[in-house]
Chain A
Amino acid sequence: MFKRTLLLDASDIQRALARMAHEIAERNPASANVVLVGIQRGGVHLARRLSTLLKDVWGHDVTVGALDVNMHRDDLNHRVPPQIHPTSIPFDVTEKNVILVDDVLFSGRTTRAAMDALNDFGRPRAIQLAVLVDRGHRELPIKADFVGKNVPTSLQERINVALNEEDGEDAVHLERQ
């Protein structure tokens, strides 16, 4: 069946997120202007964790939104209809530094859809991208600003991100058939 290799365990994930939070803080001196937007589902949990970590660095709350990009995908004709999760951006993104958060960066199409979707909510001053795992194989000119771990993969492999909030454990596995 599946051959599974553990890439990151719970403490690895925690350390990666802590480092990413510091990198985000370094890149964004105007901390009050930063908002986090997680891409459903995994990205939302990661955005919440980054928000907590950034609060320790900056000493103030960092707002978190959730974005479902499925209505903006360009591959709706090639797959069964995706499940739609709530989008909740309870703040104006105009002139904000928006950090998009996702669990895995792959083709870049989700990120493109997220930028399109975000456009409907206002005009951010800047959009940056934070991902826990970058597995390569980009199909669009998109690059992450903050990366937890770079993992060179083949197209036959899958990255499985399990998060406490959803799956009861923190772990990133590489799966191969």
Chain B
Amino acid sequence: MTWNRKHLLDIQSLSAEEIFIVLDTARGFKAVGERAIKTVPALRGKTVVNLFIEPSTRTRISFELAAQRLTADVINFTAEASSLKKGETLKDTARNLEALNADIIIIRHSATGAPHFLSRFLNASVVNAGDGAHEHPTQALLDVFTIREKKGRIEGLNVTILGDILYSRVARSNIWALLKLGAKVTLCGPSTLVPRDFERLGCRITHDVREAIENADIINLLRIQHERQRKTMFPSIGEYASLFGLNRARLALTKPDVLIMHPGPINRGVEIDSSVADCSRSVILEQVTNGLAVRMAVLFLVNGGKGPQEIRA
């Protein structure tokens, strides 16, 4: 089985084999970050554009560093400082970037499907760095990479995703990846943020935290996204923390080898207690390290996935 995709748009359309190719490739790239010289020439002479129409710091920095470690040239493009403010359309912006011979365009956008839209008319590779509440594929890939590295497998594990599922692209991408790889997924949170519809994907849904975390091998906590909530979905942050926050008392109910994950940025005292975030079962910072390796792997694979092409002088 080989990788022959030019774009990474979502997890939904990937096969389990393709996900494993990314994970295996990322393992090799993780080792590069541990060397004295942390760069390899795999994307030498390529131009990577970070087209971030929606604000992001950690994902953009992770992609930027990933591209640099592959020796690509990187341009950062943010909505605030761009001609999108002057009324240029996304399509025109992307076409202009391609006119500068961009090879890979990494896009974050508040609209679902924006990366898919670009991929229909660009010759460059398109990588989805988060589109609306739809998908955030590299986050899911780094999460399953971390789980596999820590647990040695993914199949058969009980994974609980706790928090704001409704507005979360991380949740959707994780659900696709975990189910494809054979994990059992439980979703938990306030009923307003965990719609029953997700049962149709093959997830179990509960609103009882104790039940959700008791048998979990992995607890993936999601941030309460104030910026995405148009109306109040629960009475107060304090109430959310007391009913659904992962604190010491709740941690005591979990399996002794449970992994605590969080895509960041964490809200200490809301979805996760400070002492839990810093405890030995938390792999939150390792997720950041693995994110870099996974994004290097994705850039490497989509660049090669274009198939034979002319060498540019």
Contact = CB atoms under 8 A, between A and B. Distances in A.
Are A and B part of the same complex? yes
Interface of A: 68, 70-73, 76-88, 116-117, 120-121
B313 to A, nearest CB: 13
Contacts of B29: 71, 84
A85 B28 contact: yes
Contacts of B41: 71-72, 116
B42 A72 contact: yes
A70 B70 CA distance: 12
A109 to B, nearest CB: 13
Interface of B: 2-4, 21, 24-25, 27-29, 31-32, 35-37, 39-42, 70, 297, 300-301, 303-305, 307-311
Interface of A, helix, strand, loop or mixed by DSSP: loop
Given A72-B41, A77-B304, A87-B28, 8 more contacts: A71-B32, A71-B42, A80-B305, A83-B21, A84-B297, A85-B28, A86-B31, A121-B35
Contacts of B35: 120-121
29 contacts: A70-B42, A71-B29, A71-B32, A71-B42, A71-B70, A71-B300, A72-B40, A72-B41, A76-B304, A77-B308, A77-B310, A79-B304, A79-B308, A80-B2, A80-B3, A80-B304, A81-B25, A81-B301, A82-B304, A83-B24, A84-B24, A84-B28, A84-B297, A86-B31, A87-B31, A87-B32, A120-B37, A120-B39, A121-B35
Nearest to B70: A71
Contacts of A70: 28, 42
A117 B28 CA distance: 13
A70 to B, nearest CB: 8
Given A81-B3, A120-B35, A121-B35, A71 B304 contact: no
Contacts of B42: 70-73, 76
Contacts of A85: 28
Nearest to A116: B41
Contacts of A117: 40
B304 A81 contact: yes
Contacts of B308: 77-79
Residue of A76, A81, A87, A121 most packed against chain B (CB within 10 A): A81
Contact of B40 (A77, A79, A80, A120): A120
A81 B300 contact: yes
Contact of B311 (A77, A80, A84, A116): A77
A84 B27 contact: yes
Contacts of B300: 71, 81, 84
Residue of A79, A83, A84 most packed against chain B (CB within 10 A): A84
Nearest to A117: B40
A34 to B, nearest CB: 22
B268 to A, nearest CB: 36
Contacts of B40: 71-72, 117, 120
B150 to A, nearest CB: 18
Contacts of B301: 81
A137 to B, nearest CB: 20
A46 to B, nearest CB: 21
Contacts of A116: 41
B202 to A, nearest CB: 30
A20 to B, nearest CB: 28
A74 B39 CA distance: 15
A41 to B, nearest CB: 13
